[in-house]
């Protein structure tokens, strides 16, 4: 009878033992809710059903999906035989994550026995609020007295259909004392962003040190739904007496060099201060310093360079040396002079212009015009104009202006005009006619005409451009 009972008990227990997994991954729930903009953690149980201690690798897949990031407390965990341990898994999501369901797979694998198990968790994202501070920025983190702080805050409405009005409040505090408050109601249309800009100028005697900037966004019930914070610093500034400064300037052909020496003649260290030098605005592009200035500003027609000196021990000196280079100025003057010279030469130079009127066709006359211009400021004497006519055309010996001397030459006809003297700014025109003696195929190029004259000291020449006559 006892043997029968033992056999019955074994028959019941053996299937249970056989069905049991060596390792089990057990989440606390199948579905986990997560509010956007927040982090939630869940404890995952790793159950080691083996009779010996084992070490498991622990992982979650995917580690990032749709803006949701996953962080595990441990990636390797050791569990004694027939016992269990819990590992925390953290899910974090930004505030603008869309609502929905995402599935994550959690796995544990033995590093020695090779056994493993996995389970899945469904993460449901639920929007916290439709409005939030999507961005905030400041123009600087370190300020001097009388400088301006600019705070730009962007408020975004994620809702697809409804506009909301929330209160945006900004506090500037020093040592928990409120220095300045900005508050306004901000209305944002669906799926839009509104930027709010606040400005604050630190007083001349603003206390140096650390300041905090806190930006709050409150819903219609006065509940804070989004915040942004910044920490800035206001520098201490101390102006040393003018008697502490020595200044020397040396001027050379290529540069001006100025040396400023500030020495602490006292018996205590100096607080931070600025050394400022004012120069004409024209010197800005020619300025160079041994120590780069901390700040550059424009005042009227001047540029002011400032150097920040954080500390001077008793008897210690600081030397600031800067140069104003004239090299660029000299180069500019040379370039301007060259441009002026060549512009003068081009503008006040004798010129001859050759042009034509007519159609290139056999037995049809084409009128050729030569225009001589004295653009110089002196007389042109013994002016002679020479033009050559190709052999494929002949000169019509009928002239509307001063007739030239005509000379037959190899390859064509040479026409010469003697114009005598041309006064400054005087112009003279001569014309002649040509006609083809054969049918010309294509275009005809007439060579450039020349003008020779006696200038102030020697014979000078000017040439026209060649002329191409196209058939029609």
Same domain for 264 and 209: no
Residues 119 and 145 in one domain: no
Lowest model confidence (mean pLDDT) among 149-158, 175-184, 204-213, 411-420: 204-213
Res 201 pLDDT > 70: yes
Enter the tokens of residue 321: 């040396």
Per the domain annotation, does 5 fall within a domain?
no
Is there a single domain that holds both residue 64 and residue 111?
Answer: yes
**DSSP string covering 40-82, please?**
EEEEEEEEE-SSS-EEEEEEEE-SEETTEEEEES-SEEEE-TT
Query: Do 28 and 90 belong to one domain?
Result: yes
Whether 140 and 227 map to the same domain: the answer is yes
Residue 12 within a domain: no
CA 231 to the chain's CA centroid:
27
Pull the structure tokens for residue 141. Answer: 């983190």
Averaged pLDDT, 185-207: 92
Q: 137 with 226, same domain?
A: yes
Verify that 267 and 371 share a domain, yes or no: no
Judge if 39 and 101 occupy the same domain: yes
Residues 103 and 191 in one domain: no
Q: Please confirm whether the linkage preceding 62 is cis (ω < 30° from 0).
A: yes
Q: Does the pLDDT of residue 441 top 80, yes or no?
A: no
* Per-residue model confidence as pLDDT tens digits over 378-426: 889 999 999 999 988 889 988 999 999 999 988 889 999 999 999 998 9
The CATH number of the domain where 52 resides is what?
2.60.40.10
Q: Are 36 and 127 in contact (CB under 8 A)?
A: yes
pLDDT at 269 over 70: no
Q: What is the pLDDT of residue 251?
A: 84
pLDDT tens by residue, 271-319: 787 888 888 888 887 888 888 898 888 888 888 988 888 887 777 888 8
Q: What is the CATH number of the domain that holds 429?
A: 2.60.40.740
Q: How far apart are CA 467 and CA 144, in angstroms?
A: 72
Of 126, 160, 177, which residue is a domain's last? 126
- Give the residue numbers spanning the domain of 189: 131-234
Residue 431 has pLDDT above 80, yes or no: yes
- Which residue do the tokens 């009227």 mark? 300
Q: What was the pLDDT predicted at 245?
A: 61
Alpha-carbon distance of 38 to 94, in angstroms, equals 7
**Token pair 């006609």 is at which residue?**
435
* Six token digits for residue 178: 């409120």
Q: Which of 231-240, 246-255, 259-268 has the lowest mean pLDDT?
A: 259-268
d(CA 451, CA 433): 19
Asked if the structure places residue 4 within a domain, the reply is: no
Pair 114, 160 in one domain: no
Percentage of the chain surpassing pLDDT 90? Answer: 48
**Residue 346, CA distances (Å) to 140, 375, 462, 463 in order:** 55, 9, 12, 13
Query: 3 pLDDT band (50/70/90 cuts)?
Result: very low
Domain contains 458: yes
Residues 39-82 have pLDDT tens digits of 989 999 999 999 999 999 999 999 898 889 999 999 999 999 99
The verdict on residue 257 lying in a domain is yes
**Does 159 share its domain with 223?**
yes
Q: Are residues 375 and 455 in the same domain?
A: yes
Structure-block tokens of residue 197: 């800009």
| Number of neighbours of residue 436 by Cβ within 10 angstroms | 20
Last residue of a domain, which of 211, 234, 257? 234
Of residues 185 and 337, the one with the higher pLDDT is 185
Whose structure tokens read 């700040």?
A: 295
What pLDDT does residue 405 have?
A: 93
Q: Which of 45-59, 99-113, 262-276 has the lowest mean pLDDT?
A: 262-276
Does residue 470 sit in helix, strand or coil? coil
Where among 126, 159, 189 does a domain terminate?
Answer: 126
Q: How confident is the model at residue 129 (pLDDT cuts 50, 70, 90)?
A: confident
CATH assignment of the domain containing 320: 2.60.40.1170
Q: Where are the beta strands (DSSP E) in 237-379?
A: 245-251, 255-263, 273-280, 287-289, 295-299, 302-309, 317-325, 351-357, 366-373
Which range among 102-111, 131-140, 300-309, 323-332 shows the weakest confidence by mean pLDDT?
323-332
pLDDT of residue 440 exceeding 90, the answer is no
Q: Tokens representing 314?
A: 């008793």
**230 vs 128, which has greater pLDDT?**
230
| pLDDT of 162 higher than 60 | yes
Supply the pLDDT for residue 19: 60
Whether 1 is covered by a domain: the verdict is no
Averaged pLDDT of the chain: 86
Token duo for residue 270: 């100096």
Report pLDDT for 9: 47
Q: Is the pLDDT of residue 328 over 80?
A: no
Cis-peptide into 4, omega within 30 deg: no
Confidence at 172, pLDDT banded by 50, 70, 90: very high
472 has pLDDT over 70: no
Residue 344 domain-assigned (yes or no): no
pLDDT above 70 coverage of the chain, percent = 90
Residue 6's pLDDT band (boundaries 50, 70, 90)? very low
Higher pLDDT, residue 16 or 269: 269
Q: How many domains does the chain have?
A: 4
- 424 occurs within a structural domain: yes
Across 431-459, average pLDDT: 87
Q: What is the mean pLDDT of residues 138-163?
A: 93
Cβ contacts of 122 within 8 Å, gap of 6 or more: 30, 31, 32, 101, 102, 103
């Amino acid at each position: 009878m006892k043997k029968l009972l033992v056999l019955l008990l074994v028959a019941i227990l053996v299937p249970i033992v056989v069905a049991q997994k060596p390792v089990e991954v057990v989440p606390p729930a199948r579905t986990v809710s997560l509010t956007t903009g927040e982090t939630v953690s869940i404890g995952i149980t790793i159950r080691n059903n083996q009779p010996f201690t084992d070490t498991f690798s622990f992982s979650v897949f995917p580690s990032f999906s749709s803006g949701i990031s996953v962080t595990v407390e441990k990636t390797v965990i050791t569990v004694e035989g027939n016992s269990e341990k819990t590992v925390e898994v953290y899910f974090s999501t930004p505030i603008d994550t869309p609502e929905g369901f995402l599935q994550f797979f959690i796995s544990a694998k033995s590093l020695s026995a090779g056994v493993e198990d996995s389970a899945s968790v469904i993460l449901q994202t639920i929007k916290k609020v439709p409005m939030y501070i999507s961005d905030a920025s400041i123009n600087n983190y370190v300020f001097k007295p009388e400088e301006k702080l600019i705070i730009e805050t962007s408020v975004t409405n994620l809702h697809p259909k409804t506009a909301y009005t929330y209160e945006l409040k900004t506090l500037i505090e020093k040592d928990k004392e409120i220095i300045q408050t900005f508050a306004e109601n901000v209305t944002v249309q669906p799926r839009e962003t509104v930027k709010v800009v606040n400005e604050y100028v630190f007083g001349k005697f603003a206390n140096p040190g650390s300041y905090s900037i806190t930006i709050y966004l409150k819903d219609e019930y006065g509940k804070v739904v989004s915040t942004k914070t910044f920490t800035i610093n206001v520098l201490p500034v101390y102006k040393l007496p003018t008697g502490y400064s020595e200044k020397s300037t040396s001027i050379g052909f290529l540069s001006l060099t100025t040396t400023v020496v500030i020495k602490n003649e006292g018996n205590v260290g100096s607080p931070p201060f600025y050394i400022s030098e004012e120069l004409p605005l024209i010197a800005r592009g020619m300025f160079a310093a041994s120590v780069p200035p901390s700040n550059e500003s424009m005042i009227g027609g001047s540029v002011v360079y400032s150097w920040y000196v954080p500390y001077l021990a008793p008897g210690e000196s600081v030397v600031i040396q800067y140069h104003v280079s004239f090299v660029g100025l000299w180069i500019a003057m040379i370039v301007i002079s060259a441009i002026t010279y060549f512009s003068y030469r081009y503008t006040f130079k004798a010129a001859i212009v050759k042009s034509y009127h007519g159609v290139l066709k056999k037995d049809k006359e084409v009128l050729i015009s030569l225009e001589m211009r004295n653009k110089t400021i002196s007389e042109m004497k013994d002016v002679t104009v020479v033009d050559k006519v190709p052999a494929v055309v002949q000169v019509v010996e009928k002239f509307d202006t001063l007739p030239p001397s005509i000379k037959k030459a190899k390859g064509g006809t040479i026409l010469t005009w003697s114009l005598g003297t041309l006064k400054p700014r005087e112009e003279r025109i001569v014309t002649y006619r040509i006609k083809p003696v054969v049918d010309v195929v294509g275009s005809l190029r007439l060579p450039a005409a020349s003008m020779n004259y006696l200038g102030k000291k020697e014979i000078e020449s000017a040439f026209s451009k060649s002329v191409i006559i196209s058939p029609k």
